[in-house]
């Protein structure tokens, strides 16, 4: 069970910026599915523009949260003597 708790905590950490700006969970899921689709079907030269266009019509706060979310997904974990980074637990 410890594995599932850790996986849930990591997932929450990834989408936390979007949740903090008030996006409903179903919209977050939709954005992430669209991101996955874009990553599979578009070429590497246009991926940045396509990923940004997914939230291009949203308010500045949502666009900034999207950039942070994508950045968290692609960030390389820092090697710190084997210690795992501490992620906030989901609320509730």
Looking at the domain assignment, is residue 21 inside a domain? no
Question: What is the reported pLDDT for 89?
Answer: 62
Q: Which pLDDT does position 13 carry in this prediction?
A: 87
The better pLDDT of the pair 89, 52 is held by 52
Domain containing 40 equals 32-72
Q: b vs e for 37-65, b when ≥16 Cβ sit within 10 Å of the residue's Cβ?
A: ebeeeeeeeeeeebbeebbeebeeebbeb
Query: pTM score, two decimals?
Result: 0.74
**Average pLDDT score over the chain:** 83
- Split into its structural domains, the chain has a count of 1
Residue 20, in any domain of the structure:
no
Decide if 38 is inside a domain.
Answer: yes
Flag whether 65 is in a domain.
yes
């Amino acid at each position: 069970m410890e594995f599932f708790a850790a996986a849930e905590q990591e997932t929450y950490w990834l989408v936390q910026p979007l949740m903090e700006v008030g996006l409903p969970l179903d919209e977050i899921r939709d954005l992430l599915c669209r991101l996955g689709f874009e990553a599979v079907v578009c070429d590497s030269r246009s991926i940045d523009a396509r990923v940004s266009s997914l939230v291009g019509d949203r308010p500045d706060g949502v666009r900034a949260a999207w950039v942070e979310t994508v950045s968290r997904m692609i960030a390389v974990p820092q090697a710190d003597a084997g210690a795992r980074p501490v992620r906030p637990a989901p609320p509730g």
